[in-house]
Every structure is written in C-alpha cells, then in structure tokens.
C-alpha cells in the first residue's frame, strides 16, 4: 500500500510541476513582448474605448476570440493602474444580433467616455457610468454602457444611435467633450458621397449622448479618427487642435465645436512601418495633465506564437512651436522607468572605428531602454547592432552623418542634428524596436523577428564618435511578478 501511495504522490507531483512550467511559459514565449501589451492568445488589432476612471486605465481592443486571423470582431478588455501591467478581463462587447458572421454586425472600433452628469440616467450609486461608442459593422453606430467600472456592459435598447447607410462606409466613432460649446462631439470616418475622394471625417454633436446631429465633413482621412486639444508647450497661453488619421498622421488646426479648420499640411507622426489606429485616453485627470496615446503595431509577425499582434508603448504626446512651425512630439510614458533594472552608464567617451572598441560589449539580453546623446565629430556613420550573435548578424540601427538619415528595418528618416549632436531613445522588446530621436521630434516604430543573439554593439565608421552620455537599462518583464 505504501508503495502504491508513494507512486500516486509522485504522479501528482510531476503533474503539478508540468502545470506550473506551462503557466510560467504562457507569457514567456520566444517572441512574446515583455513590456508591451499582447492578449494571452489569438488575433488583436486596433485599440478601442480608451478611458481612465477611478485609478484605472481601460484598454479595449479589436479581438478575435476564435483564432489568430482577422475577423469575428469583439472588444477585448484589459485594465491597468500604470499603463504597463495589464489585468486581462473578460470580453466586453460581442457581435450584435447574435451574429456568427466574420464581419456582419461584429463589434468594430470605437471609443469610451465617463458619463459625469448621468445623461443616460443609468447611474445607481456613486459609480459613474462608462459609455462606449462602437461600430456594429453594417449595423450602424451603437452605444453600450457599464455601471460597474467597465466589468460588464449593456447595449442600449434603442441602438443604433446613427443608422447604417450602405453608401457611406461609416465606422470608428471617437467621442470627446467640447468645453467651449458644452456639447459632446463625435468624429466619425465616412464617405460624404459615393465618390471615393470624399473619404474623410464627419463631425456630429449631441447634448445627451444618444441623439447625434451632423455638422460638417473634411476629406482626406481613412479610419480610426481622433481629435485632441493640446497646449503648446513653449507657448502656454496657446492651444491647438490636432486631428488624427488612422495611420497616425495629423493636421494641426482650429475647432469650433462643429468644424475643423486645418492650419498645417498633413504631417506623419511615426516614420516606421508598424504604427496604426492611434487613439488617446479620455478622462485623464487635470492634475496629471498628460495626453497619452497608443497604437496597434500593424504588420508584426510572431511565428509560432499563440497570439497575433502587439500594441506600441503608451506615449505622452505634446505640441511644440519650433523655428519651422508646430510639430507633435511623442515620448514613452514616465511609468516605463519602473521596469528599469540593471543599469550601465558611459559619459564623455570617444569611440573610434573597430569592433574591438565596442563600449557596450557587456550588455546582453533582449529587453532594453537605451538613452544616448552622441557628438558626431568626424564619423561618417554610427549605430547599434541589436540582438547580435556569433552566428547571426544583429538588427542594425544606423545614422548616416553625411546624409542625415536614420535607418532601421527598412525605414529611413531624415533627422537633423542639434549643435552637431544627436539624441536617441531606443526601446528594444522581443519583437519590436521603437526609436525616439531628438527628444521625440522623430519617432520610428517597427516590429521585427530577431535571431538568437543577445549582444549589443555600438559602432562608428569613418571617424570618431563622441559619446556625450549613454545609459542602457535592462527592462524587467511585466509578467515577472506573475511567474514567482
């Protein structure tokens, strides 16, 4: 009997150890980002319904619960208190009309706000109602609400709030409060006419969140609009409105509550290949004062992974008046610093050509924040090799001094030095590289599929490079605590 019992206990122990190993591996797969958001499994794309309430950032997103490919859209849901560690929540919005179709009546993109004045009359206690606006594909623009801080959602009985029109292809409602007119404003992608050239953004207003009235239309946009009011950082008495397109490009202009008037040409906000469906969080407290943006890193490849897709790092956006005009500036949120572990620092160094001069030879790993300022001196070009190995060349980040071009992963961007110096902040995750040049004036966001290498090489070609200062931080996994 004792032998049988011992054998039984051994089997249980092996089973428990295997289960524990699988649980630890769940968010530690080879190409799983370690400080960017991903769902546990399956396809995801556009961020939706970004709203802050009662200490929590809500991130909803386009999600296919059935597989790793696009389609059958629901709203996935995650909650965070620091924009980095996300608690995965149950699916928030399901397709309408009990649809099982790949597209028809599925829950496409949208936004969310806090019903501060209980306009929907759904608030039962002190918890404010959260309201989500979304496109039910081919079934109109619709509304859902939550009275329990976003944990469960109820769809408005009188949906749709804007009926489906087969001619206008309307989708992706973003709703904001316009203080000056004391009305809610919806920016909605649609075609003004059947002419493809009329693709753009229509503006609607409402006083009760249910009845919406069309006011104006602007051409030249496609999908996932966003409208943000920003204070000019170096002109604190001045404010501008920024109207975003689906690819993150934007116009700077004026908005009177009904009509947007561009005051700039269309400007590209990210120069990489994988930044799409940008959205900002609503209801950020005034004491915080930040405007925080995130995007889906479209086109990433995650071979062999149980999930498909990742978000960009949440970033603070601001508007600055430069000598050449107004421009959006974007930088990672300050919360990223809480993930910093091992730190290596170099200052006032001179780098000469030759791999033996590599200052960063002691840096090894796969997740880093690199912050550097470089004096170009006599260098023809300089850069980093990321995830370099003995048998495989790493991914190259290069700045061509003579041409003034920064290149990474087939993205080449002009970047102008300031006083013959270049500032770079680089975020390296297991499947992405994001570069913020010259304090966020130029940003490049790209996904990549690295090899097995773990080395980092800083090099210069053609002449000397001054390392004014360089800080390399290893970033711990946002799942590290879960694995203890």
- The number of residues in the chain equals 484
How many C-beta atoms lie closer than 10 Å to residue 261's C-beta? 12
Question: Is the distance from CB of 260 to CB of 227 less than 8 angstroms?
Answer: yes
Q: What are phi and psi of 8, to 5 degrees?
A: -65, -45
Q: What is the enclosing helix (H) or strand (E) of 10?
A: helix 2-25
Q: How many CB atoms lie within 10 A of CB 219?
A: 12
- Omega before residue 160 within 30° of 0, cis: yes
Q: Rounded to an integer, what distance in angstroms lies between the CA atom of residue 332 and that of residue 428?
A: 13
| 46 catalytic per annotation | yes
The active-site residue, picked from 21, 46, 82, 366, is 46
Q: And the tokens for 348? A: 């006032």
* Strand 432-437 with 307-308, pairing: unpaired
For 111, other C-beta atoms within 10 Å of its C-beta total 28
- Give the Cα separation of 173 and 201 in Å (integer): 10
Q: Tokens 């495989």 belong to which residue?
A: 392
- Residue 164 CA from chain centroid, whole number: 29
CB atoms within 10 A of CB 61: 27
Give the rounded distance of the alpha carbon of 136 from its chain centre: 23
**Among residues 132, 125, 107, 171, which one has the least CA distance to residue 50?**
132
Which residues are identified as catalytic? 46
């Amino acid at each position: 009997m004792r032998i049988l019992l011992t054998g039984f206990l051994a089997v249980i122990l092996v089973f428990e150890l295997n289960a524990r190993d699988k649980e630890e591996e769940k968010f530690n797969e080879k190409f799983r980002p370690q400080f960017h958001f991903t769902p546990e499994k399956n396809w995801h794309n556009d961020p939706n319904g970004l709203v802050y309430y009662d200490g929590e950032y809500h991130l909803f997103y386009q999600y296919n619960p059935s597989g790793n490919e696009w389609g059958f859209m629901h709203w996935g849901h995650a909650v965070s208190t620091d924009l980095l560690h996300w608690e995965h929540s149950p699916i928030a919005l399901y397709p309408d009309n009990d649809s099982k179709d790949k597209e028809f009546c599925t829950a496409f993109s949208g936004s969310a706000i806090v019903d501060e004045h209980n306009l929907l009359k759904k608030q039962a206690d002190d918890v404010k109602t959260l309201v989500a606006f979304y496109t039910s594909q081919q079934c109109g623009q619709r509304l859902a609400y939550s009275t329990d801080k976003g944990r469960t959602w109820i769809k408005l009985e009188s949906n749709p709030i804007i009926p489906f029109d087969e001619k206008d292809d309307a989708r992706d409602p973003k709703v904001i409060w316009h203080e000056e007119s004391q009305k809610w404003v919806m920016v909605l992608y649609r075609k003004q006419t059947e002419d493809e050239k009329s693709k753009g953004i229509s503006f609607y207003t409402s006083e009760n969140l249910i009845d919406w009235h069309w006011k104006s239309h602007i051409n030249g946009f496609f999908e996932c609009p966003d409208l943000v009011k920003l204070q000019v950082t170096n002109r604190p008495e001045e404010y501008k409105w920024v109207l975003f397109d689906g690819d993150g490009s934007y116009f700077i202009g004026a908005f009177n509550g009904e009509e947007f008037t561009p005051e700039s040409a269309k400007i590209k906000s990210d120069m990489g290949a994988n930044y799409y469906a940008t959205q900002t969080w609503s209801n950020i407290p005034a004491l915080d004062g930040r405007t925080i943006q995130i995007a889906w890193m479209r086109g990433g490849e995650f071979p062999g992974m149980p999930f498909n897709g990742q978000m960009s790092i949440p970033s603070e956006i601001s508007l600055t008046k430069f000598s050449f005009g107004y421009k959006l500036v974007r930088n990672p949120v300050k919360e990223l610093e809480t993930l910093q572990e091992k730190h290596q620092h170099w200052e006032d160094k001179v780098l000469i050509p030759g791999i033996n001069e590599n200052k960063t030879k002691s840096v090894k790993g796969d997740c880093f924040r690199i912050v550097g300022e470089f004096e170009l001196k006599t260098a023809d070009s300089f850069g980093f090799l990321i995830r370099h190995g003995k048998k495989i060349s790493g991914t190259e980040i290069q700045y061509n001094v003579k041409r003034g071009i920064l290149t990474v992963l087939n993205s080449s961007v002009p970047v102008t030095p300031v006083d013959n110096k270049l500032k770079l902040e680089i975020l390296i995750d297991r499947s992405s590289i994001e570069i913020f040049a010259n304090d966020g004036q130029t940003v490049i966001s790209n996904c990549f599929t690295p090899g097995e290498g773990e080395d980092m090489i800083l090099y210069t070609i053609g002449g000397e490079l001054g390392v004014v200062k360089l800080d390399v931080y290893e970033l711990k996994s946002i799942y590290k605590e879960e694995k203890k």
